[in-house]
């Protein structure tokens, strides 16, 4: 799964550069622009769904941290929450591109 996300991100960046080039070009590339925009919209939709799922997981972890009595498990949940928050920030940053 992680590898596929990396491939998608690389393709997204590559298409962003292509789109920027053809938008600044004097030739008519409207068919390519529309195709790229369709791909971007699909990518954004998927990222929005993933961010929403991560936010729900964050809430779940926060609740479990509050209720956990075992210190070791509480620390493990806190570590997972920190990792999750980093991933959410990264996804939001990419989403804004």
pLDDT tens for residues 35-54? 778 877 887 888 888 888 88
Please give the Cα distance from 24 to 41 (Å, whole number). 21
How many independent structural domains does the chain possess?
1
**What is the domain extent for residue 14?**
2-96
Q: In this predicted structure, what is the pLDDT of residue 14?
A: 84
pLDDT digits (tens, 9 = 90+) for 52-81: 888 888 888 888 888 888 888 888 888 888
Q: pTM for this structure?
A: 0.54
């Amino acid at each position: 799964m992680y590898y596929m996300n990396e491939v998608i991100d690389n393709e997204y960046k590559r298409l962003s550069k292509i789109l920027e080039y053809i938008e600044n070009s004097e030739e008519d590339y409207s068919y390519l622009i529309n195709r790229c925009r369709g791909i971007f919209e699909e990518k954004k939709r998927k990222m929005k769904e993933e961010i929403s799922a991560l936010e729900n997981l964050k809430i779940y972890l926060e609740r479990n941290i509050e209720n956990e009595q075992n210190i070791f498990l509480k620390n493990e949940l806190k570590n997972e929450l920190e990792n999750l928050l980093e991933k959410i920030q990264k996804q939001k940053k990419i989403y804004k591109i």
